[in-house]
Amino acid sequence: MISAIQLNDLGDGITQLVLNRPPVNAMSIEVLAELGDTLDGLEADDSVKAIVVSSALGLFSAGLDLKEIKDFTAYEQTALVDGLNSAFNRFYGCKKPVVAAINGAAVAGGMFFALAADYAVAVEKSRFGLTEIKVGVNFPVAPYEIAKAELSPGSFRRVLLSGRLFKSDAALEMQIIDEIVADDQLLERAVAVAREYAGNPPMAYAAIKHQIRAEPLAKMQSAVDDLNDSTRGGWFTSETTAAIDAILASSATKK
């Protein structure tokens, strides 16, 4: 498998983690495993002080590949749920500063990179939304707990139940992101924040980050260790395939 993740050394202990799986940085079981392993390696590397997550493509990430998953067996659905829980548990719990540089659409699973980062910088053209309801699925434990912890109760309800896409200014107001910058300033600003956060004592940073996120991380770790996520018993319902087919048909008509 060609690697979907590239690492660049930006100097001063800042590592850029670049998502590069054309055409839309879709997350598969394999990509989620690679993401988790990459984060483990960066966390264990004392030379890495902070991580900037970005995209090599014209958007950030469209989440899961609907064409790929629509015919998944129950076993593959369970593997996908486990992959999401494991990867985003490690992303959200990473002891080092993690800054997201969002250069375009960050939708469904892609939006969790913004929510789970310590700081998220985006450009004006970025779009955000949790469209799982449109696909006819609910949320595995890790994505659900991240959204619940990072969104206000009102935003949490609106984002999850509407499946709507939000422009960057609305995302800023809802605290999905922390800052909007010009396209040509995105990486520079994300690196500046990463450097600022990396300048704090690392043990204290990790300890405080885990204090802030202790409750959702405990639930996420339990889902990983005890395999107690209810969606493991069959994530898709009788609605899911029809919903995915309708979305794919609509997308094909718009092309």
Q: Where are the beta strands (DSSP E) in 56-129?
A: 98-102, 106-107, 119-123, 127-129
Residue with tokens 């989440």: 63
Q: CB–CB of 109/65 below 8 Å?
A: no
Is 132 noted as a catalytic residue in this protein? yes
- Distance, CA of 136 to chain centre: 19
> Which residue among 30, 68, 132, 188 is the active-site one?
132
Can you tell me the distance from the alpha carbon of 74 to that of 160, in angstroms, rounded to the nearest whole number? 24
Strands (E), the chain: 5-9, 14-19, 50-55, 98-102, 106-107, 119-123, 127-129, 166-167, 179-181
CA pair distance 190, 22, nearest whole angstrom: 23
Beta strand 50-55 pairing with 98-102: parallel
Q: How far is CA 171 from the centre of its chain?
A: 15
Which active-site residues does the annotation give? 132
